[in-house]
Structure 1
């Protein structure tokens, strides 16, 4: 999970302190996760997933949830690439963000 978090954070050119401010999770908590002193709790994982606009499944396992796999299963052509799956996930987040406005 921590590796996936780091990848998401780095992709957005953020620091732990930026994510801490946005989510209310302390910087020391991130440090504890990195060193293995503690494991993230469900509520904090959800805050991070929400912040980055990914599913909890993706944050924990680096895989897409069943909804994305269901969409992919209905494709008549060859298998979806990782890039295409990411585009589907981004579009899903976009549609959901419009609903929230």
Structure 2
């Protein structure tokens, strides 16, 4: 996928136009469309990446990960394993260690699903925050 197509896709996700992006980051009107034929300056490309909160590697098509701290499939599997441990009361190293697994049996089905979804989202958020904080600079964009 070309640079312009990726930017177009990001614009569609945010429901903005090329013109709005160009005005916002301070580049001339129509410049993004010209990038099909001419390579942009690195500073300008970085401005676009910052605007959409994606990496320049993603814009250039070098990776399909928008951000270095996005969760990978391996991360998702680890989260599911951790969630199972929490539900079964096996995870003594976790902040949920005080949780008594029997309480899930006392909840109705809807409350049980909401509690588990909440734990899953908490695990996902903490994993993403840890990646942002502890990923060495050389592995970032």
| TM-score normalised by length of structure 2 | 0.46
Which structure would you say has the larger Rg? Answer: 2
Of the three residues 1, 8, 11, the one matched with 2:10 is: 8
8 A Cα contact 2:10 2:52, kept in partner? yes
Instruction: State yes or no: 1:64 paired with 2:75.
Output: no
Q: CA deviation at 1:2?
A: 1.1
- Give the C-alpha shift of residue 47 in structure 1: 0.3
Are residues 1:24 and 2:26 paired?
Answer: yes
Change beyond 3 A, Cα 1:75–1:27? same
TM-score normalised per structure 1: 0.61
Give the secondary-structure state (helix, strand or coil) at the position aligned to 1:75.
helix
Q: Tell me, which stretches of 5 or more residues in structure 2 are unaligned?
A: 79-123, 134-141
Task: Give the superposition deviation at 1:46.
Answer: 0.3
Aligned residue pairs, count: 81
Once superposed, what is the RMSD of the aligned Cα atoms? 3.3
Within 2, Cα distance between the matches of 1:13 and 1:76? 29
Is the alpha carbon distance of 1:21 and 1:66 closer, same or farther for their aligned partners in structure 2, counting shifts above 3 Å? closer
Q: 1:12-91 alignment to 2 at 5 Å?
A: 12-34=14-36, 36=37, 38-61=38-61, 62-64=63-65, 67-68=68-69, 72=72, 75=75, 77=77
Matches of 2:49 and 2:6 in 1, distance apart?
A: 11
